[in-house]
Every structure is written in structure tokens, then in C-alpha cells.
Amino acid sequence: MAFSLDNLLVIGISSRALFDLEAEETIFQNDGLEAYRQHQLDNENNVLQPGAGFALVRALLKLNELTPNHRFVEVVIMSRNSSETSLRIFNSIRHYGLDITRAALSGGAPLSPYLEAFNVSLFLSLHEDDVQAAINSGIASALLYQMPDNAMEDLGQIRIAFDGDAVIFSDESERIFQEQGIEAFEQHERENALKPLPEGPFARLLVALSYLQNNFKSEDGRAFPLRTALVTARSSPAHERVIRTLRAWNIAIDETFFMGGVAKSAVLAAFKPHMFFDDQHGHCIRAASFVQTGRVPIKQ
């Protein structure tokens, strides 16, 4: 019987997001494909250092160890490498003991056509065009920023933080704020407080994470080992619609921070997520010094 990826949280991650391949990327950009190919062949037994998405992937894969004979997470390498230049990636995967056996190696072609074929729930990459194409296809995707110094800290728990508008929720209200200002935004949210916000690109991922949490709830109702946080620039009176929307979706986020325009960095540093997803570059670049960060592009 064929192995099914249905009912699994499938993470698609580029090799450059899983491992530090920045030196190799420089060789490719400056010297061309043949120089890159030869470099990878010459160094295929040299283990790569962890990259921006490594800590999150390693933490999520540990969920498969908690329940015998039951997998919750599958990770697929989605790489523009050819099979010839990919051995170094697989050797590094084996070195770190990562339970990753599947890969899509496109030989330089775009990766987005293969995301749906692997039932990808979340795609992480350092290639902006692949991330944009994934978002345009309706798949949760983020462009990763470089690792902060504390990215490899072992937290003993998976922690993921999200911005609200244009990430968990659609960018409908965000557009009103950007085009008409804060007063129009707050008036709109007051008038629509009882109407759930439309889903954003990461809504289905949040539902999937909530499903995983329910599989690990203890008798006191606490969900271990996965914890989520919403860190949003919203404040009162725009908070009510968020709370009612999550209630309508039957999702309980563990920690919620209505920042009201205050910088998110200090709260994120305290929460210590494996990954923080936000749609605005300004927020991302400030957060990236403290926590691993991924930018969610607007659907085009």
C-alpha cells in the first residue's frame, strides 16, 4: 500500500533553509552552476551547519517519537539542486539524525508546482520567488531571515508565534488601516466585531497545529509539547473581533499579546518561539535579531 501524506503536518523546506548554504549560494551567484556543482561534489562528505529552519524542523520531528507507530509530521526537502549535487544534503541530514526521507529535487526549476503534490502544509525557503508562488497557490509559506545567535537553544517545547492580520487572518482589515488610517480601521472593527475575520494564508496551518495540540493534552487541559502565541499590533477596540474569530474557529491560542503599536521584539524574546511569522518586513527585521523569523508575503 502506498504511503499517504494525508492527515499529516507536512513541512516543505528548501535545503538552503534547513542548512547554512550561504557560502555555496555565493559561489553559485558569482561563479555559476558548474563551479557550484564541483564545490558540492568536492565537499559532499563535509557536514553542513544548521540553517534558519533547522531548529523548527528538528523540534516538530520529535512529535513522531512521542506516540509509538503514529506519525504526526513529515518533512520533505524541496530543493532546486539536482540529484547529483544533493548528496551533501542527505549526508548532513543523516549526521544530525533527522527523520527526513523524502525530497523533491527540481534541478533549477521552480518548486511551487510540487508543493500540492506532496500535500505541503507549510513551505519555508530563502528563495523569495518560490515563497511568493506558494502563497499565490494558497499554501502557507514564509521567507526566512538569517538565524539569531540563540536559534539553536533547546526549549524542551515547540513554540510558534504568529502575527494576526495578513497571516492568520486575511489582509482585509490591514488594507483599511494602510489606506484610511487607524480611526477608520478601529471603526470598521467595531462595526464588524461579531463577524469572524476571513481566513489568512496561515489559518489552516493554525488549525492543523491545534489538532496536534489536542493529541497531547494532559488531564489539566494543557497542551504539551506544542505552544502557540498571537503577537498582533491590534489593541482595544480591535481585539474583540480577533477573540470572537478564534472562538468561531474553535481554536485556543495559548498566549495572546495585543501590542497596540508597541514593538513586538521584547515579547517575542520572552516567548522564545522556534519561528515567528509576520507579513511586514519592518516587524520581521526587528524581530529577527531576537528570534527566528519568517516573512509572509501578500498574495498577488
User: Percent of the chain beyond pLDDT 70?
Assistant: 95
Say if residue 1's pLDDT is above 60: no
The reported pLDDT for the residue numbered 216 is 78
Q: Is the pLDDT confidence value at 224 over 80?
A: no
Letter for the amino acid at 173? S
| pLDDT per position as a tens digit, 142-155 | 999 988 877 667 77
pLDDT of residue 220: 62
Q: How many residues does the chain have?
A: 300
Distance of CA 23 to the CA centre of its chain: 23
Degrees (nearest 5) of the Cα angle 176, 244, 250? 125
Q: Look up residue 65 and give its three cell numbers.
A: 517519537
In one-letter notation, the amino acid at residue 122 is L
pTM, two decimals, is: 0.92
Q: What is the DSSP string of 19-47?
A: B--HHHHHHHHHH-HHHHHHHHHHTTTSP
pLDDT at 223 over 70: no
Distance CA 33, CA 30 (A): 9
| Percent of the chain surpassing pLDDT 90 | 66
Q: Give the tens place of pLDDT for each residue, 36-75.
A: 989 999 999 999 999 999 999 999 999 998 877 889 999 9
Looking at the annotation, which residues are catalytic? 163
User: Alpha-carbon distance 274 to 55, whole Å?
Assistant: 6
The mean per-residue pLDDT over the stretch 208-237 comes to 82
